[in-house]
């Protein structure tokens, strides 16, 4: 995302300034400490003057587009955003753990009716802005007209309640 949106030079600068243990060498099959993402994020925020919460939301939307391309079969039978978001914990995370058994995924509890979906995000990583970006990417993909509210359930950001209401 950084290379596409801000260019190779900015990507090189943030990787250098983040002082990463692997000098920014990543593979799609690896599992990495989330603190490296935070280091890169903070450096990107410094370079672009865009707040880290906005960048995380944008990254979540970007990653959702990557998921759409790589895992088309997951989307083929789902007709709307509420249905897809309801699959996260028991279907999608189950599949992720098959591929990456050491992954530390957030817990996503979902309840909904036809007009309102409540999604409770819990994670020690405190990346709810990234989760919000994924939600926004999902809603955009399904062309949903939805209002989102975000309520901090714990002051440290480890538990957040998203309420999605169809307009």
pLDDT in tens, 98-127: 878 888 899 999 999 989 999 999 999 999
Task: Please count the structural domains in the chain.
Answer: 2
Based on the domain organization, do 63 and 137 belong to the same domain? yes
Based on the domain organization, do 133 and 95 belong to the same domain? yes
Both tokens of 75, joined, read 């989307």
Based on the domain organization, do 67 and 148 belong to the same domain? yes
Based on the domain organization, do 118 and 166 belong to the same domain? yes
pLDDT band at 140 (very low <50, low <70, confident <90, very high): very high
Q: What is the sign, positive or negative, of the torsion defined by CA atoms of 157, 71, 54, 147?
A: negative
Q: Residue 145: which domain range?
A: 53-167
Q: End-to-end alpha-carbon separation of the chain, Å?
A: 31
> Which of 21, 42, 144, 9 lies closest to 84, judged by CA?
144
Q: Are 135 and 164 in contact (CB under 8 A)?
A: yes
pTM for the structure as a whole? 0.91
Based on the domain organization, do 5 and 65 belong to the same domain? no
pLDDT value, residue 22: 80
DSSP state of 27: -
Interval 127-137: pLDDT, tens: 999 999 999 99
Based on the domain organization, do 13 and 68 belong to the same domain? no
Locate the DSSP E strands across the chain.
Answer: 107-112, 116-122, 146-152, 159-166
Q: Which residue has the higher pLDDT, 76 or 122?
A: 122
Question: What residue has token string 């989330």?
Answer: 34
Q: Which three-class secondary structure state does DSSP give residue 29?
A: coil
Based on the domain organization, do 1 and 80 belong to the same domain? no
Q: Are 1 and 44 in contact (CB under 8 A)?
A: no
Is 153 a residue whose pLDDT tops 80? Answer: yes
Interval 9-59: pLDDT, tens: 999 999 999 999 887 777 776 677 888 889 999 999 999 999 999 999 999
> Which of 94, 6, 86 lies closest to 46, judged by CA?
6
């Amino acid at each position: 995302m950084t290379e596409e949106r801000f260019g190779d030079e900015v990507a090189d600068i943030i990787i250098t300034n983040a002082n990463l243990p692997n000098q920014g060498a990543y593979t799609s099959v690896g599992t990495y400490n989330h603190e490296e993402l935070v280091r890169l994020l903070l450096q990107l925020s410094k370079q672009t003057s865009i707040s880290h919460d906005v960048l995380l939301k944008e990254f979540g939307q970007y990653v959702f587009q990557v998921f759409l391309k790589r895992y088309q079969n997951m989307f083929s039978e789902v007709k709307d955003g509420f249905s897809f978001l309801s699959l996260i914990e028991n279907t999608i995370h189950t599949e992720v753990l098959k591929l990456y058994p050491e992954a530390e995924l957030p817990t996503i509890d979902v309840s909904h009716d036809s007009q309102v979906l409540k999604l409770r995000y819990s994670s020690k990583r405190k990346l709810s802005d990234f989760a919000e970006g994924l939600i926004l990417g999902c809603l955009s993909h399904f062309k949903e007209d939805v209002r989102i509210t975000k309520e901090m359930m714990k002051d440290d950001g480890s538990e957040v309640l998203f309420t999605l209401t169809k307009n």
